[in-house]
Amino acid sequence: MGGIESFEVAVQGGVIAGSRAGEGPPVVMLHGGPGLSDYLGSLDGELVSGYTVHRYQQRGLAPSTEAGPFSVETHLADAVAVLDAIAPAGAYVIGHSWGGHLAMHLAAERPDLLGLVVVDPLGAVGDGGEADMARNMEERIPPDAMARSNELDQRAMAGEGTVDEAVEALSLVWPAYFADPSNAPAMPPISISLDCYSQTWESIHDHLAKRTLVDLLPHVTIPTIFVLGEGSPIPPEHGLASAALIPGARTEVLEGCGHFPWIERPGVIRAALDSLRSF
């Protein structure tokens, strides 16, 4: 198994930068956010022994272009450019959270994908689970911490906050992403692009209102599995409703897992990816 190699792909406004590691069929991973730095390095270990794993920093933060526009369409075009450059014959795609939502758009755009693993995503139906997530967060976090996080998040969405404030807001709610907040691991170092965060959310809301994925997903024929945390702040019903739109999609709801199932139960994403090869 080789070491880690860097790659760059030309896109509108600059480049998308990423890394590859491992040997085997190509896998492209889409991190969540939007506007966050790539945090999926903790998932590499269970995949690189049988796959060539590609991770990249989505636009908004270095080493990728920090320029917009920041929209679902632009992030989708970036993902397509990466696929065309590194795996023109097709690849497996793993998307987490917002990255899982983006992966559903990508599946509709690229029927040549080998398979899709959608991990605890923002859903495709209604508001995708955003309101339920906010309510569950409030139930899991002390009221003073939740109030402070909400205040900072509102400033970020209005374009008035600072990066430090946005990181603080995320750190305050971080434990609520896990099935047992009292035993949540420490938050990894994370950077945030406020412009990417706020503007991409505007685009997401627009597409949810237009029911873009509701119309597109019934035409997806790619082997797909949804891996959902029973204890996630995004209730599994939203992932299940999304999966129901894709013909033949499988679902797995994991007890004792929250929004980051590979951290709470190592090996589950590898098992899901392996299962696609026998669809």
pLDDT tens string 89-103? 999 999 999 999 999
Q: What is the mean pLDDT of residues 208-236?
A: 98
Task: Label residue 262 left, alpha or beta by phi (over 0 means left) and psi (-120 to 50 means alpha).
Answer: alpha
Position 85 scores a pLDDT of 96
Higher pLDDT, 45 or 129: 129
Position 155 scores a pLDDT of 85
Give the chain's mean pLDDT: 95
Report H helices in the chain.
41-44, 72-86, 98-109, 130-140, 143-157, 163-173, 194-210, 212-216, 236-243, 261-264, 268-276
Q: What is the mean pLDDT of residues 216-220?
A: 98
Position 157 scores a pLDDT of 79
Position 258 scores a pLDDT of 98
Task: Decide if pLDDT at 156 tops 90.
Answer: no
Percentage of the chain exceeding pLDDT 70: 99
Instruction: Give the C-alpha separation, 59 to 175, whole Å.
Output: 26
Position 2 scores a pLDDT of 59
Please state whether beta strands 115-119 and 92-96 pair in parallel, antiparallel, or not at all (unpaired).
Answer: parallel
**Residue 17: pLDDT band by 50, 70, 90 thresholds?**
very high
Task: Decide if pLDDT at 1 tops 60.
Answer: no
Q: What is the mean pLDDT of residues 8-17?
A: 97
Instruction: Give the C-alpha separation, 72 to 145, whole Å.
Output: 31
**Residue 88: pLDDT band by 50, 70, 90 thresholds?**
very high
pLDDT tens string 41-83? 999 989 999 999 999 999 999 999 999 999 999 999 999 999 9
Helix, strand and coil percent figures for the chain, each rounded to 5: 45, 20, 40
pLDDT tens string 238-264? 999 999 999 999 999 999 999 999 999
Higher pLDDT, 159 or 154: 154
**Residue 160: pLDDT band by 50, 70, 90 thresholds?**
confident
Instruction: Give the C-alpha separation, 230 to 43, whole Å.
Output: 20
Task: Decide if pLDDT at 159 tops 80.
Answer: no
Position 225 scores a pLDDT of 98
